[in-house]
Structure 1
Amino acid sequence: MATGISLLAFISFYLLYSTSKKMSGIGNLGFEELIGAHEKASKYIGLALMIFSLGLSCFYWGLGAGTFTFFIILMTVASLVILLAPLRLMNYPFLILIFACSFIFEILLF
Structure 2
Amino acid sequence: MVTGISFLTFLAFYLLYCTSQKMAAVDTLGLEKWTGVHKKASQYASLALMILSLGLSCFYWGIGSGTFTFFILLMTIASLVILLAPLRLLNYTFLTLIFACSLIFETLLF
TM tier relative to shorter chain: over 0.9
Q: Which amino acid aligns with 1:11?
A: L
Q: Write out per-residue CA displacement over residues 15-67 of structure 1, whole angstroms, 9 at most, x where no aligned residue.
A: 00000111111112122111110000000000000000000000000000000
Which 4+ stretches in 1 moved above 6 angstroms?
none
CA distance in 2: counterparts of 1:86 and 1:60, whole angstroms: 33
Partner of 1:9: 9
Q: Which 5+ residue runs of structure 2 have no aligned equivalent?
A: none
| Cα RMSD (Å) | 0.6
Match of 1:85 in 2: 85
Instruction: Give structure 1 stretches of 5+ with no counterpart.
Output: none
Alignment: residue pair count: 110
Tell me the equivalent position of 2:48: 48
> Any idea what SS the aligned residue of 2:28 has?
coil
Q: 1:74, CA displacement in angstroms? A: 0.4
In structure 1, C-alpha distance between the alignment counterparts of 2:16 and 2:31, rounded to whole Å: 13
Task: Report what 1:63 is aligned to.
Answer: 63
SS at match of 1:60: helix
Q: Which residue of 2 aligns with 1:109?
A: 109
CA distance, structure 2, for counterparts of residue 28 and residue 90 of structure 1: 7
**Secondary structure of residue in 1 paired with 2:12:** helix
Alignment correspondent of 2:32: 32
TM superposition score normalised by structure 1: 0.98
SS at match of 1:95: helix
